[in-house]
Amino acid sequence: MGRSTEWIPALWLDVFNELLYEDNQLDYDDQWTLNFSYSQTDTVTKEERKRGWKVYAHCARGKFQCASCRKTWPSARVVVLFRYRLQRGRGTVIMRPFGQACRRCQDGFELGGFSENEVEHALLRVFAKIRKNCYGEEDDDDDDDVSSTESTVVRTRPHEEGLCEACCMGICCVDDEDDD
């Protein structure tokens, strides 16, 4: 499964629930849910901010497969956008994975597949942001793990912004710059 190119929402839901309920990552007796929205952006309106919404863009590693020519490619710069808030004991996390286009076909953005370890890493970062922004905890992880994980990534090609859905929408993959 670690090499899968298939977008599997159930993997994200399973890991989210495991971290939440078995590992007690948010041990505050609030109920949290993970949902998906394939159209959300990183913009939070003034009204949404008043209602408590925060946004976190995570830069993950994934693998893609073109639906037309079946070509596969890895990417160390896949943007996964999370929108979250806590309101009256109920927490909501809304996630959007961004796609990439095949260099050969360029006929649409494909959603990538992620390893279970990558999913866990992304969700642990979201939980750290939630603990900081919703519960007032210090974010121990803040930038330490970003530099260490990125230093292990071997980039064989430069990131092609024109083939990246997030780049085309102006959402940079420079992870963790904005905690709001």
Q: Is residue 175 part of a domain?
A: no
How far is the C-alpha of 148 from the C-alpha of 145, rounded, in Å?
A: 5
Q: Is residue 68 part of a domain?
A: yes
Residue 178's pLDDT is 43
Q: What angle do CA 72, 4, 81 make, to 5 degrees?
A: 90
Q: Is residue 120 part of a domain?
A: yes
> Could you tell me how far CA 69 lies from the centroid of its own chain?
27
* Domain range enclosing 41: 9-168
The dihedral built from the CA positions of residue 96, 84, 116 and 173, taken in this order, carries a sign that is: positive
Q: Is residue 123 part of a domain?
A: yes
Residue 95's pLDDT is 98
Phi-psi region of 58 (alpha: psi -120 to 50; beta: other; left: phi over 0): beta
- Collapsed DSSP state (helix, strand, coil) of residue 128: helix
- What's the half-sphere exposure (Cβ side, CA atoms, 13 Å) at 154? 1
Higher pLDDT, 175 or 87: 87
Integer angstrom CA distances of residue 104 from 12, 70, 98, 107, 110: 29, 10, 19, 9, 13
Listed in sequence order, the residues at least 6 apart from 57 whose beta carbon sits closer than 8 Å to its beta carbon are 42, 79, 80, 81, 82, 166, 171, 172, 173, 175, 178
Domain total of the chain: 1
Looking up tokens 């780049």, which residue turns up? 167
Q: Is residue 178 part of a domain?
A: no
Q: Is residue 42 part of a domain?
A: yes
Residue 166's pLDDT is 93
Residue 161's pLDDT is 86
Q: Is residue 109 part of a domain?
A: yes
Q: List, for residues 4-42, the tens digit of each pLDDT value.
A: 789 999 999 999 999 998 888 888 889 999 999 999 999
DSSP-assigned beta bridge partners for residue 92 = 33, 85
How far is the C-alpha of 130 from the C-alpha of 134, rounded, in Å?
A: 5
Q: Is residue 4 part of a domain?
A: no
